[in-house]
Structure 1
Amino acid sequence: MTAPTTFRERLFIPWWGWLLPLAAASLLAAEVHMGFPGVRSWLPYVIVLPLTLALIVRMGWTRVEVSGGELTVGSAHVPVGLLGEVEVIDAKGKRKAMGPELDPMAFVLHRGWVPTMVRVRLVDPEDPTPYWLFSTRSPEKLVEALRAEAAKAPSAKAPSAAATGAAAEGDADA
């Protein structure tokens, strides 16, 4: 039996993010088409457009999930008991978090089309990674899910939340 999921989110690319890559792929296919008249002229459309679609879908297939006492971001996962402070980063603080405040040892999963991020500190003394910084559309719900999972886990303290900006002022009183 699988563990119940407390929080699940896929970071799909919005419809407007598909327009430019598909237009560029169509133009590339048309360029190749003009150079090879005849039967082979349809080949670039059959190859380039599905390949572009597959790449767009793959980029947006990233998941963020809290279930079974673990936080999963992409293909990485960590037990909730090893998580410390949880900080919500709004769209304004994202540039600073991804720039001058970024630790080179941090785990980062950034999706430019998602405006908010979460920074989760790790308290594992054997792990050199100081924190995870990742995109999420629902940071407040993620913080609540992490608190709920930490409360279920034995000997784990609930992660605290600190708000950057006005994104999660209500979460700071944990």
Structure 2
Amino acid sequence: MNDAAPSQQPAARHDDPPLHDERLWAPLWWWLVGGLVAFTFVVAVWWVLTDAWAIGAAVVFFGGLAAVLLGSGRGRVRADETSLHAGGANVEWEWVSGAVPLNAKQSDEALARADDGRTWLFTRPWLKTHVRVRLADPADRNSSWLVATRRPRQLATVVLAHAGARRPDDGAAQGADQAAPAGNSHA
């Protein structure tokens, strides 16, 4: 008789790299223009008031600029094996039905039509390309997401490859009065 422990299957890896991971940092030229504007205010304060006021104005204006640009640039678009994450929101693949990459002109048109309240927006003013992600969750008030990205084709390809994964059958498996799964959250 063999006393060796039975072979175990390897545990699922939770450290697999994401399929798409993108930080939406502000571009360098936004920092340069913002710095120039802040510098202009500091010079104006320095011209009128004392050196101490100019130093205080520099701290306030440059600190404010950094806070605004770093804060708005913290946005992240991430797709992993289980869901799509955009900012603080996520949607599991089973509730995604499709995706379309949008160029700058198409993005402008989509943003103009997004005022109906059914499209959840994750945008940044310095990004002109987006992906429209269609949702298939009847309990969700949003029929689609409009997600800013620098790589719309790559993101759309990843989303399309996973759209509808593990979706329950539309008929008998899910009754009309059954609630959406707990993990399906949209912020």
* TM bracket, shorter-chain basis: 0.7 to 0.9
Please report the RMSD computed on the Cα atoms of aligned residues, expressed in angstroms: 2.2
Distance 1:102 1:39 in 2: 47
- Check if 1:95 corresponds to 2:108: yes
**1:34 correspondence with 2:47:** yes
Query: Normalization by structure 2: what TM-score?
Result: 0.74
Q: Rg larger in 1 or in 2?
A: 2
Instruction: Indicate yes or no: 2:38 matched with 1:25.
Output: yes
Query: Structure 1 31/126 Cα, relative in aligned 2: closer, same or farther at 3 Å?
Result: same
Q: SS of the counterpart of 1:77?
A: strand
- What 5-or-longer segments of structure 2 have no aligned partner? 1-13, 170-187
Identity of aligned residues (%): 28
Give the partner amino acid of 1:41: A
- Does the CA contact (< 8 Å) of 1:69 and 1:150 recur in 2? no
SS in 2 for 1:128: coil
Q: In structure 1, what residue type is equivalent to 2:20?
A: F
1:139 corresponds to: 152
Structure 1: gaps (5+ residues): 158-174
User: Alpha-carbon deviation of 1:57?
Assistant: 1.6
For the 8 Å contact 1:6–1:149, the answer to whether it is kept is no
Aligned to 1:154: 166
Cα–Cα, structure 1 residues 59 and 79, in superposed 2: closer, same or farther, change >3 Å? same
Are the structure 2 counterparts of residues 146 and 100 from structure 1 closer, same or farther at C-alpha, using a change threshold of 3 Å?
A: closer
Report the secondary structure of 2:128's partner residue: coil
Deviation, 1:130, is 0.9
The alpha-carbon deviation at position 146 of structure 1 amounts to 2.1
Alpha carbons of 1:92 and 1:56: their partners in 2 closer, same or farther (altered >3 Å)? same
Q: Shift of residue 143 of structure 1?
A: 2.1
1:53 maps to 66
Amino acid corresponding to residue 43 of structure 1 in structure 2: G
Instruction: Report the secondary structure of 1:99's partner residue.
Output: helix
TM-score w.r.t. the length of structure 1 is: 0.79
SS at structure 2 position matched to 1:81? helix
Quickly say closer, same or farther: Cα 1:27–1:94, change in 2 above 3 A.
same
Please state how far the C-alpha of 1:136 moved relative to its aligned partner: 0.8
